[in-house]
Amino acid sequence: MIRTFIAAATAALLATSAQAQIPEPLASTKLPNVDRATLVPVLQQMGLRPETVTLESGEALAITTPSMTVILRPRVCNPDCAGLFMLSIVPDSGTADQINAYNSFVPGSKAVRLPNGSTAISRYLIADYGLIAGSFLIDLQVFANTVGRWQQRNFPMGSNVQSVSLTEPGESQFDSEMQDLLDDVLERPELWSREVGHSKFDGIFPQ
């Protein structure tokens, strides 16, 4: 109960910080779905330069900043897309204790240690009935912040950390579609984020 409250409070603080950067009328604009055509102009209005990358598993959006690359893959498209998978690969291997601590204390995102020694940070956004542009941008900012926390190892370590399962060789914690995307991105190092120890993270949106 206490941990849930702390996580919710932390997420709220991150969201408030991000929301302050989103101007009107963009912040309250209703997005009918989360396909690439809908998201690109929203991201561009925030000063980002999303790039469409063609992978064997299909197209995705890549957002690159000085400290990280975030991959966005729309999902559940019939034809409107009702889900959005956010992924960032950091080319370092955290210890089992670090993975457990991150997944216990960092809200909203999940870290998975991959067989090649890198770490995948992911988040999933549900948009069954569309969503508000401000909410999408807040989710993106929160996700980027959580990637930054992994890069800097900015989360508590201690005896209260709960154990979570780690990926073993030949085993995946993603469904087949997301595993295909992950495999594709792993073959493209230019789509990975930066090493641990990057200078202070100031957010994904240009200052």
Mean pLDDT for all residues in the chain: 83
Give 206's contacts (C-beta < 8 A, 6+ positions apart). Answer: 46, 47, 48
Q: Point out which residues pair with 72 in neighbouring strands.
A: 61, 86
Write the pLDDT tens digit of every residue in 172-207.
678 899 999 999 999 999 999 887 665 555 678 876
User: Is the Cβ–Cβ distance between 67 and 150 less than 8 Å?
Assistant: no
pLDDT value for 123 = 96
Residue 161 has pLDDT above 80, yes or no: no
| Average pLDDT of the residues in 35-57 | 95
In three state form, how does the secondary structure of 92-123 look?
A: CCCCHHHHHHHHHHCCCCEEEECCCCCEEEEE
Sequence ranges of the domains in the chain: 2-191
Compute the distance between CA of residue 128 and CA of residue 84 in angstroms, rounded to an integer: 10
Q: How far is CA 58 from the centre of its chain?
A: 19
Write the pLDDT tens digit of every residue in 77-88.
998 999 999 999
User: Is the Cβ–Cβ distance between 72 and 168 less than 8 Å?
Assistant: no
Query: Which residue intervals of 118-175 are DSSP H helices?
Result: 133-151
List the one residue out of 113, 154, 120, 134 whose CA is nearest residue 10: 154
CATH class, range 2-191: alpha beta
Give 138's contacts (C-beta < 8 A, 6+ positions apart). Answer: 14, 15, 18, 19, 22
